[in-house]
Amino acid sequence: MCSCIRSVRDDHLIVYYNGKIMTKINDSYNNLKYGKYDGNRIFYKFDDEAMIQETYDDRIFNCTYKGETMQVRKSEKICESILDNSIDNYAVVFKETYYEIHKIELITDLVKRSYGERVQLKNDNTFVIDDRFMVDEHGTAHYGRKGQRNRDDITKDRRWSFLCIVVKGRPRKKSIKTKIGLVELDEKLLEILSKIQFLLYPTMTDGVFTSQLPDWLTKTMTAEREAGV
């Protein structure tokens, strides 16, 4: 099949492909596919550990990096890394997708190593701290109270009540060590981890915090603090 880009406009390309004139979006993917690969599937090799092979579906790639292979759908970023011949940019895209796919597994391991049994990651992607506080996947904190628990819908779970906490300062960037190297955590998880840290070691002299808690919980935590627990 013969392919070439006949004209480049701000927002689209005029492409001659397989005997036909077509209009394509002017983006990195189409510039690469029709400008350098004659409309065929894209294949690119940075080195023996980093390779890209487009599947039979447009914009979906089988990507390999440091012994790991997975499908990546971020076609623009993939094609930009090819056009720039930048293995560093390719690694960033690969790690982003790796993190998205293995996020729960990575977080579970991180929580276990960092906090032991004091923090439990539940099936609904909530983090329960000392069985008395909870931070959900949106970064919203809750405190435990007596009531019937709804395991299917956290918004109807009468065991937990909303708790407003604001952790001062911006969370520092953090990475997890994986088989493909260091993978950076996303901002939402950093926020969640900062709130978990606060609830593990709360400041009991913080009136805004303690005023939201039931008396029995405040007294329990104050007693534990005084006893050095």
Read off the pLDDT of residues 75-100 as tens digits, 9 standing for 90 and up.
Answer: 999 999 999 999 999 999 999 999 99
How high is the pLDDT of residue 195?
Answer: 94
pLDDT (mean) for 20-42: 92
State pLDDT tens for residues 47-74.
999 999 999 999 999 999 999 999 999 9
pLDDT at 27 over 60: yes
pLDDT (mean) for 28-44: 93
Distance in Å from the first CA to the final CA of the chain:
73
pTM (two decimals) = 0.81
Hey, which bits of the chain come out as E strands?
3-8, 12-17, 20-25, 43-47, 50-54, 61-65, 68-72, 119-121, 127-129, 133-135, 141-144, 160-163, 175-178, 181-184
Tokens of 98: 């790796």
How high is the pLDDT of residue 175?
Answer: 93
pLDDT (mean) for 198-225: 90
Place of tokens 């088989």: 179
From 16-20, 131-135, 187-191, the region with the lowest mean pLDDT = 16-20
Q: Report how far residue 187's alpha carbon sits from residue 194's, in angstroms, rounded to the nearest whole number.
A: 11
Q: Report how far residue 139's alpha carbon sits from residue 109's, in angstroms, rounded to the nearest whole number.
A: 19
pLDDT at 111 over 60: yes
Q: Report how far residue 78's alpha carbon sits from residue 134's, in angstroms, rounded to the nearest whole number.
A: 38
pLDDT at 118 over 90: yes
Q: Is the dihedral of CA 7, 12, 15, 21 positive or negative?
A: negative
Q: Report how far residue 66's alpha carbon sits from residue 180's, in angstroms, rounded to the nearest whole number.
A: 6
Place of tokens 């960037």: 173
State pLDDT tens for residues 135-190.
999 999 999 986 555 555 554 555 899 999 988 877 788 999 999 999 999 999 99
**What DSSP designation does 170 have?**
P
How high is the pLDDT of residue 150?
Answer: 52
How high is the pLDDT of residue 156?
Answer: 54
How high is the pLDDT of residue 145?
Answer: 80
How high is the pLDDT of residue 178?
Answer: 94
List 119's β-bridge partners, or say none. Answer: 129
What is the layout of strands, in order, in the sheet containing 133-135? 119-121, 127-129, 133-135, 141-144, 160-163
